Amino acid sequence: MDRPLDRPLGLLAELTHRCPLHCPYCSNPVALVGRRAELPLGHWRRVLDEARELGVLQVHFSGGEPLLRRDLAELVAHAHGLGLYTNLITGGQALSERRLDRLVAAGLDHVQLSVQDAEAAAADAVAGRPAHGRKLAAAARVRAAGLPLTLNAVLHRATIGHTAALIDLAERLGADRLELANAQFYGWALLNRRALLPTRAQLARAEAVVAAARRRLAGRPEISYVPADYHGEWPKPCMHGWGSRQLTVAPDGDVLPCPAAGRIPGLGIVNVRDAPLAEIWFRSPAFNRFRGTSWMREPCRGCPRREIDHGGCRCQAFELTGDAAATDPVCRLSPHHALVTGAVRDAEHAPLHIVRRTP
C-alpha cells in the first residue's frame, strides 16, 4: 500500500538556464528555456510564499547560473524573510565582493560552488573557457564572509583520476563539505556519455582515494561521494521517490517532480502561472504519476527492494527505453540491463570526443 502523502522539504528554484560555462556533463535539457520565457521576480516571490506554506524548509537557487539574475538578492531576501534556509548553487563567475556582500545582507545561508577540476588548465578545458581562477577567488570570498562552503566536482573519465587533487583543493580552500559526484546522464550529458563514462578501474581507484581521505580528514571537510550509476547492480533511489521530498520549478515556471522530468511526454506538467503550488504538489497528474508503488510493473512490483529504490529513476528509464514506467535499466533485474552494461563496455576504449553547447 502507498504511504500517506508527505509535504516537500526542499525547493530547487532554477532561476535561469543561462550560463557562462559549457560543461560537457551539463544535465540541463538540450533545448534550454530562453531568457524571455523566464519567470519574473513577482512570480518567483509568489512561488516562495506558496512553497513555505506548503512546508518547504530549504530553497536551492540554481540554474544555469543564478547569479545572472540581477534580482537574485531580492529573492534571497524574500526567502530569508519567510524563514527558509537559502542555498546558492553557482559556478562563481560573477560572485564579486559587492555581489556577495548584497547576498549576505539579504540572508544567504550557504554557497555550493562548482569546480571543473583541481588545476586551472584542466578545469578550464572542461568549462570551455577560463573560469577556474574566478572560482578560487569566489571560494576565498565565501569563506571570508563566514558562510559555509560546499565544493562540488563532477567526476568523469577525464577528471576522476584527479580525485586526490580535488580533495586537496577542498582542504586548501577551507570548504566545509566536498561533493564528488560521478556524472549522471541526463540532458546534454547524455550526448557525451561515451566520452564521460569512467572505466571500472578508474572508479575502483577513486573510491579507494575517497575512503583513505575520509579516514585521514575525519569530517573536515566532510566528503560526500555520489557513485557511478551505470556501474552498479541496483539503481539509485532517485529523488528519494517521485514527488516525495522535493520539487523543482524550472526557469519558465513549470513545476517538476525532478529536474529532468520535463523530457517525459504526457506527464501533465502544470505551470506556476496556472495553479497554486500546493494544488500542483498534491493533485497534478505529473506529481501523482509515479508516486508510491502502485504504478510499478514486474520485476519491480514483486521485488523486496521496491520501497528502498522506488524502481530507480523514471527519467533514466525513459531516456534509455522510451518508457518512463519501465524498471530503471541500471537494475540487474531489468530486462533492459544490457543497455547499461553495453554502454559501459563500449565506452572503455571510446575517444574523449565531446559535444559542447554553442552559446
Picked from ligand FES, ligand SF4, none, the partner binding residue 303 (CB below 5 to 8 A depending on kind) is ligand SF4
Q: Does 26 bind ligand FES (CB under 6 A)?
A: no
Nearest position to ligand SF4, beta carbon: 303
Q: Which of 239, 250, 269, 320 binds ligand FES (CB under 6 A)?
A: 239
Instruction: Give the contact letters, 45-64, x = binds to ligand SF4 (CB under 6 A), - = no.
Output: --------------------
* Shortest spacing between CB 313 and ligand FES, in angstroms: 3
Stretch that binds ligand FES, among 49-57, 254-262, 292-300, 345-353 (CB under 6 A): 254-262
CB atoms within 10 A of CB 204: 12
* Shortest spacing between CB 258 and ligand FES, in angstroms: 3
Please, which residue, 126 or 238, has the CB nearer to ligand FES? 238
Q: Which residues of 86-114 are buried (b: 16+ CB within 10 A; e: fewer)?
A: bbbbbbbbebeeebbebbbebbbbbbbbb
Q: Which residues of 305-329 are buried (b: 16+ CB within 10 A; e: fewer)?
A: bbeebbbbbbbbbbbbbeebbbbbb
Q: Which of 26, 47, 167, 238 binds ligand FES (CB under 6 A)?
A: 238
Q: Does 260 bind ligand FES (CB under 6 A)?
A: yes
Q: Does 300 bind ligand FES (CB under 6 A)?
A: no
The 3-class secondary structure across the chain, one letter per residue, is: CCCCCCCCCEEEEECCCCCCCCCCCCCCCCCCCCHHHCCCHHHHHHHHHHHHHHCCCEEEEECCCHHHCCCHHHHHHHHHHCCCEEEEEECCCCCCHHHHHHHHHHCCCEEEEEECCCCHHHHHHHHCCCCHHHHHHHHHHHHHCCCCEEEEEEECCCCHHHHHHHHHHHHHHCCCEEEEEECCCCCHHHHCHHHHCCCHHHHHHHHHHHHHHHHHHCCCCEEEEECCHHHCCCCCCHHHCCCCCEEEECCCCEEECCCCHHHCCCCCCEECCCCCHHHHHHHCHHHHCCCCCCCCCCCCCCCCCHHHHCCCCHHHHHHHHCCCCCCCCCCCCCCCHHHHHHHHHHHCCCCCCCCCCCC
Q: Does 329 bind ligand SF4 (CB under 6 A)?
A: no
- Pick from 131, 129, 208, 222: which is nearest to 171 by CA? 222
* Positions 186 through 215 that interact with ligand FES (CB under 6 A): 186
Instruction: Give the contact letters, 230-269, x = binds to ligand SF4 (CB under 6 A), - = no.
Output: ----xx----------------------------------
Q: Does 258 bind ligand FES (CB under 6 A)?
A: yes
Q: Which of 21, 315, 320, 330 binds ligand FES (CB under 6 A)?
A: 315
Stretch that binds ligand FES, among 84-92, 189-197, 256-264, 296-304 (CB under 6 A): 256-264
Residue identified by cell 556519455 is 193
Q: Does 226 bind ligand SF4 (CB under 6 A)?
A: no
Q: Which of 280, 327, 329, 340 binds ligand SF4 (CB under 6 A)?
A: 327
Please, which residue, 123 or 313, has the CB nearer to ligand FES? 313
Q: Which of 47, 138, 331, 354 binds ligand SF4 (CB under 6 A)?
A: 331
Please, which residue, 117 or 309, has the CB nearer to ligand FES? 309
* Annotated binding residue 303: no
Q: Does 303 bind ligand SF4 (CB under 6 A)?
A: yes
* Annotated binding residue 23: yes
* Annotated binding residue 300: no
What residues line the site for ligand SF4 (CB under 6 A)?
234-235, 299-300, 303, 305-306, 309, 311-312, 327-328, 331, 333
What residues line the site for ligand FES (CB under 6 A)?
186, 238-239, 258, 260-261, 313-315
